[in-house]
Amino acid sequence: MSSTFDQVATIIAETCDIPRDTITPESHAIDDLGIDSLDFLDIAFAIDKAFGIKLPLEKWTQEVNDGKATTEQYFVLENLSARIDELVAAKGA
């Protein structure tokens, strides 16, 4: 079974037409991969569907806007993958 990061990277590559080999765990979805907020909705849709969760994008955006979190915490892919794992675990708890 592929890792969460691998699944997320594949989703991003297919959704945004970005070469898969340019996507690394350290990639920042916005700053490095150039994904804008509208394109990220397609990614969120695919992630929600693949993992059976609902990425709390509004909450994350609010936290960033309020200075309580950085975009790196949510949009660097290894961190995004960790958040997904947490959401999947919380769903199964």
Partner 1 sequence: MQLEYFQLIDRIVDLNVSERTITVEAQVPLQNTIFEGHFPGYPIMPGVLLIEAMAQTSGWLLIALMKFERMPFLGAVKEAKMRGFVSPGELLKIDASVVHEGSGFAITAAKVSVGGELRCNATITFRHIPFPNPDLRGHMEAMAKRIGFPQQAIAHD
Residue 21 DSSP symbol: G
Q: Does 20 bind partner 1 (CB under 8 A)?
A: no
88 is a contact residue toward partner 1 (CB under 8 A) = no
Residue 44 near partner 1 by CB under 8 A: yes
Interface residue with partner 1, options 56, 64, 71, 85 (CB under 8 A): 56
The yes or no reply on residue 61 touching partner 1 (CB under 8 A) is yes
From the number of C-beta atoms within 10 Å of its C-beta (0-12, 13-18, 19+), residue 8 rates as buried
Virtual torsion, Cα 40, 45, 50, 54, nearest 10 deg = 100
- Residue 90 interacting with partner 1 (CB under 8 A): no
Residue 83's nearest CA partner among 72, 74, 92 is 74
Site residues (vs partner 1, CB under 8 A): 38, 41-42, 44-45, 48-49, 54-59, 61
